[in-house]
Chains A and B, each alone.
Chain A
């Protein structure tokens, strides 16, 4: 146990300071992108968890150094979220791994790490402190300046003032200086904001860039996704270690009760049937299980198939309507199809796959399918080719089967919601190809592709009909003209009735075909 104590003496802040690469702060370009991303995501979470329609303001202004390379920039992000109680402000923004997110529910961030990494990066590159202004909508607004004591992982409050809050404003403003190569990061930051606008169509996003240009992504709907609820564990998602911990803390005196209390969607019937399946008496006190019994129980949990699917109330998917609204608002496509799969689970973590497919509008014609990836409402912009969605879209789905040709402007949107997104790396940029996840994404993409193909063939038919009519419209009047001339007649015959009958004939054709 001595060794463990020594390890704990290395502060988490110190650890992340030394390993900032893994959190996405590799260089000034990547750092400003990650800073924007982490702060905007925290702001969105601060609003959404409480059902507030987000109003996010982001400003990046240039302070010193060159504009076409790494320089010092000031970043300010303001939201209208619930705000942070004044007591918690220093810890929430100045202590790594402190936060509100250690619960089993879907949020964007998971460890309360990113935002603080951004502040930490700013502090070490510019030696300046961060300003946090927040109010929970009570009578005061708290204005705190702080820095992070890296070695002790403690916030160091430099100054705190309070302002009166007559308007009962609630929200949080974070502002600090940081080293950044904005010019190089700009395309990704704009992509990030646009894609965030797709996946959060209920949010207003405002961005003022260092040159004073205003980017505004307006909300398209007042509707919000249901806020995620905290839930208990799903039996499929439990490993031996977790099981031991639950047994440690349980108050239950029998396995029957233990199952009901600690696992989601387990009632008397299912608990009894499961324990029969596992071959362990329901009356047994969980604390008295041997190690072997714990292992066997855990394994039985994994292969007992009659557990209800994981409770998805801890998830906060967008829903088909919102996904559609987001796609329509940012890309104005000719056609959108969205589809949400039923909740599923990988290793006991519930997840929901939502996909969309869109045609035309502002979707660029890249000679392939444009893929938009989201995980827990975060746009994923890097390492596309390593992502499971990329594999699904580019090699598992045979698009020819769905009448999709390479030169069509088609985009596919994949949103994975989970209490634990199976990222392949700490960088959180691409999702691993776990079989369950891959299967769900594949099925979902196939479903929208199927619907898209109906649209495409209808479109094709309409285009063909239009082309046909164009041909008749071009040639019939000419036949009328020339045959009138040839016959030496004065008045040309009227071709309108014939053209009309072409249309009727077309309709008839389609009905026959159907």
Chain B
């Protein structure tokens, strides 16, 4: 193992290495626990049942302390006694035993896989929506996200930067890779999600919505110039990506800056990374509360005189919705929402190209990073 150049980073690693393994053990024991519970109920001649937090909209609330949505105190009981529950409960137990096997063998699967695998057990789901719902149930029961039990969605995003990871997946155990070894970036898939951080020479994370801009940043060597790890979300960040950003922030103590399009949808991409989504209210450790939305702001459209489009009715409706959303309480958010509504314009990240291809990297980014110190 190479010696870390930064003392603080080395300390962190010493403290935090093995986190991935630890989590795996926790997930496995939660799954076994579920099995034990149902098994014991049945040996005691009880209809098996489980209780889990209610995920309905009425039970979702915003937690100021955690700075994310959480589920309230309401719970639902699902019992095999109830004819309407027995099928979903069976599906849940099957899914649990399926992912338990996956996790035990360090294999991964996709949501689509789960849907098809069920058919081998005469457990068919009506459609993928049903199987996805059952997986969300399982997340709620176990308290871990599906990526933690190795079920990944199809969507993939990527990462580039001076970070060495050590794989834990079968066949690659102990192997290391510097994430700057390929200029297109490395895909954030199951292997990377399950990798431990070995060595990090970066001092910040820059998250980018658009692929074109991500490539530009690599070409313009933002990772060197700004000692940054670049993460490309490809639109709304997948959960694995959100969880990786959180780990970069929490385990390596790296500040996170998010750059999206200057429109309500871009804003919300940043917000979900920072404060999570209502859909994932049953999960923890997916959001990065300290991450900063750094641009492109509505005020940037004005300040940089960016080429822009008019806000659509839908955009405006969305902005009004944000006004009632507790996640958008912060001063910066409120100010930008107001600005959007005032100028009634939106702009894409690529709009900076009007000042030359390098402008965004050479002028805008440094200015922004500096400015962010005060937020």
**Distance in angstroms between the alpha carbons of A486 and B142 in the assembled complex:** 13
Which residues of A are found within 8 Å of B32, using beta-carbon distances?
A: 486-488
Asked if B86 and A487 make an inter-chain contact with CB atoms under 8 angstroms apart, the answer reads no
Q: Residue on B with the closest CB to A489?
A: B39
Asked if B43 and A483 make an inter-chain contact with CB atoms under 8 angstroms apart, the answer reads no
Q: How far is the CB of B15 from chain A (nearest CB, A)?
A: 32
The stretch from A11-19, A257-265, A299-307, A493-501 touching chain B is: A493-501
The prevalent SS among residues of A at the interface is: helix
A485 with B42: in contact, given A471-B87, A479-B90, A498-B47 (CB under 8 Å)?
no
**Distance in angstroms between the alpha carbons of A414 and B256 in the assembled complex:** 86
**Distance in angstroms between the alpha carbons of A493 and B94 in the assembled complex:** 16
Which residues of A are found within 8 Å of B100, using beta-carbon distances?
A: 485-486
Which residues of B are found within 8 Å of A215, using beta-carbon distances?
A: none
Asked if A482 and B93 make an inter-chain contact with CB atoms under 8 angstroms apart, the answer reads yes
Q: Residue on A with the closest CB to B33?
A: A487
8 Å CB interface, A492-510 against B: 493-495, 497-498
Which residues of B are found within 8 Å of A475, using beta-carbon distances?
A: 80, 86-87, 89-90
Max chain A C-beta neighbours (<10 A), residue from B36, B48, B90, B94: B90
State whether the Cβ of A480 lies closer than 8 Å to any Cβ in chain B.
yes
Q: How far is the CB of A503 from chain B (nearest CB, A)?
A: 13
Count, chain B residues at interface, CB 8 A: 25
Asked if B42 and A472 make an inter-chain contact with CB atoms under 8 angstroms apart, the answer reads no
Q: Residue on B with the closest CB to A483?
A: B38
**Distance in angstroms between the alpha carbons of A472 and B121 in the assembled complex:** 16
Q: Residue on A with the closest CB to B87?
A: A475
Asked if B35 and A486 make an inter-chain contact with CB atoms under 8 angstroms apart, the answer reads yes
Q: Residue on B with the closest CB to A484?
A: B39
Give a binary string over A339-365; 1 marks a CB under 8 Å from any B CB, 0 the rest.
000000000000000000000000000
State whether the Cβ of B361 lies closer than 8 Å to any Cβ in chain A.
no
Max chain B C-beta neighbours (<10 A), residue from A468, A479, A498: A479
Q: Residue on A with the closest CB to B47?
A: A498
Give a binary string over A398-442; 1 marks a CB under 8 Å from any B CB, 0 the rest.
000000000000000000000000000000000000000000000
Q: Which residue in B36, B42, B83 is a CB contact (below 8 Å) of A495? A: B42
Q: Which residue in A479, A494, A495, A498 is a CB contact (below 8 Å) of B89? A: A479
Max chain B C-beta neighbours (<10 A), residue from A471, A493, A494: A493
Count, chain A residues at interface, CB 8 A: 21
**Distance in angstroms between the alpha carbons of A493 and B96 in the assembled complex:** 18
**Distance in angstroms between the alpha carbons of A495 and B47 in the assembled complex:** 9
Q: Which residue in B39, B47, B87 is a CB contact (below 8 Å) of A483? A: B39
**Distance in angstroms between the alpha carbons of A244 and B94 in the assembled complex:** 91
Asked if A486 and B97 make an inter-chain contact with CB atoms under 8 angstroms apart, the answer reads yes
**Distance in angstroms between the alpha carbons of A476 and B89 in the assembled complex:** 10
Asked if B42 and A482 make an inter-chain contact with CB atoms under 8 angstroms apart, the answer reads no
Q: Which residue in A468, A484, A486, A489 is a CB contact (below 8 Å) of B96? A: A486
Which residues of A are found within 8 Å of B90, using beta-carbon distances?
A: 475, 478-479, 482
Asked if B97 and A480 make an inter-chain contact with CB atoms under 8 angstroms apart, the answer reads no
Give a binary string over B175-203; 1 marks a CB under 8 Å from any A CB, 0 the rest.
00000000000000000000000000000
State whether the Cβ of B310 lies closer than 8 Å to any Cβ in chain A.
no
Can you give 8 contacting A-B residue pairs, CB < 8 Å?
A475-B86, A482-B94, A484-B39, A485-B97, A486-B100, A487-B35, A487-B38, A498-B47
Known contacts A482-B35, A482-B94, A487-B36; 19 additional CB pairs below 8 A are A471-B86, A475-B86, A475-B89, A475-B90, A476-B80, A478-B121, A479-B42, A479-B93, A480-B42, A482-B90, A482-B96, A482-B97, A483-B97, A486-B31, A487-B35, A489-B39, A493-B42, A497-B45, A498-B42
On B, residues with C-beta under 8 Å from A are 31-32, 34-36, 38-39, 42-43, 45, 47-48, 80, 83, 86-87, 89-90, 93-94, 96-97, 100, 121, 123
Q: 7 tightest A-B contacts by CB?
A: A486-B35, A487-B35, A493-B42, A483-B38, A482-B97, A482-B93, A475-B90
